[in-house]
Amino acid sequence: MQVGDITCVLDARAQLGECPVWSVDEQALYWVDILAPALHRLDPATGATRTWSMPSRIGSFGLRETGGAVVALVDGFHLLDLDTGALTFVAGPERVPGTRFNDGKVSPEGRFFAGTMDEEQLSRPIAALYRLDPDHTLHRMLDGLIVSNGLAWTADGATMFHSDSKGPVVWVHDYDPVHGTVTHRRVLARPTDEQGRPDGAAADMDGFYWSAGISAGVLNRWAPDGRLDRSIPLPCSNPTAPCFGGPDLRTIFVTSLRHGMAPDVLAAKPLSGGIFAVRVDVPGVPIARYRG
């Protein structure tokens, strides 16, 4: 597999950059800074940016078919009007103290999945994965998680990837797009700290799983059989999430963080908190839009 040079497309200096989503229609990249908290938009062709400030930490979001976005804030799910910035609350689970929403993604048929995490101790299995249907009903899908992360689907929509960053473990599930259910969970990989604990992720058209190795400063490509196919060093200390974009979906955009970095580490990796791009020869699976 050929990999091109890595470039910094935006020196964003994000405290906690996450959840990149490529809009095929706009040829633009949306992403969040969880701690700002804000949703951002970047036009890679022009460098133009736009920001929507959020009232609480934004773990993730999905673009909507009818325009705007669905966002996962501290209290649950809201619809965001991108023209006015107005938020409309739609649903939320009972809050578990010490948790917040984290990684989320729209499934191929248009449901929005998002999970929570133990933000205070990063060790307690008190988090869960939720599904928001187009009719705005909320469903608890999985329990016993520490840091829900790494959602992605294969091109045929039949397999869902999901990880727990503090497991650390990457799972695959059989996915039923008719009912939005997951079954037959099995382990794909158990990445070590040296390999890179799994954070945000994306899938390519060959069924491989691209995972940000947050503890090792790398972007990992895991094969369907659980083999580590490739590990790409990045010019940042802690990459957080990849997504495929560009006109041919062969550019991987990767977000990163700079929050909590020691001064000497930041001096060695001054672009941490930026957004990076790497060209690959296998296109990615496009991210769907939420139908609600």
62 belongs to a structural domain: yes
Q: How far is CA 13 from the centre of its chain?
A: 18
Could you read off the pLDDT tens digit of each residue along the chain, which spans 292 residues?
555 689 999 999 999 999 999 999 999 999 999 999 999 999 999 999 999 999 999 999 999 999 999 999 999 999 999 999 999 999 999 999 999 999 999 999 999 999 999 999 999 999 999 999 999 999 999 999 999 999 999 999 999 999 999 999 999 999 999 999 999 999 999 999 999 999 999 999 999 999 999 999 999 999 999 999 999 999 999 999 999 999 999 999 999 999 999 999 899 999 999 999 999 999 999 999 999 9
292 belongs to a structural domain: no
Model pTM above 0.75: yes
| Whether the Cβ atoms of residue 79 and residue 67 lie closer than 8 Å to each other | no
286 belongs to a structural domain: no
Catalytic residue among 103, 118, 164, 199: 199
**Burial class of residue 92, CB neighbours in 10 A (0-12, 13-18, 19+):** middle
- Strands 60-63 and 49-53 come out as unpaired
Please write the tens of the pLDDT for every residue from 79-115. Answer: 999 999 999 999 999 999 999 999 999 999 999 999 9
290 belongs to a structural domain: no
Which is nearest to 6 in space by CA: 277, 275, 288? 277
Q: What is the structure's pLDDT at 3?
A: 55
249 belongs to a structural domain: yes
Residue 90's domain is classified under what CATH number? 2.120.10.30
Q: What is the structure's pLDDT at 239?
A: 98
Q: What is the 3-state secondary structure (H, E, C) of 213-238?
A: ECCCCEEEEECCCCCEEEEEECCCCC
CA 290 vs CA 67, 108, 112, 213: distances in Å: 9, 9, 6, 27
Q: What is the structure's pLDDT at 5?
A: 85
Please write the tens of the pLDDT for every residue from 2-33. Answer: 556 899 999 999 999 999 999 999 999 999 99
Place of tokens 């520490």: 146
What is the count of structural domains for the chain? Answer: 1
288 belongs to a structural domain: no
CA 180 vs CA 93, 135, 183, 208: distances in Å: 18, 13, 10, 22
| Whether the Cβ atoms of residue 160 and residue 173 lie closer than 8 Å to each other | yes
Nearest 5°: the CA angle 189, 155, 201 is 40
Active site residue 199: yes
Q: What is the structure's pLDDT at 128?
A: 98
41 belongs to a structural domain: yes
Containing domain of residue 31, as a range? 3-280
76 belongs to a structural domain: yes
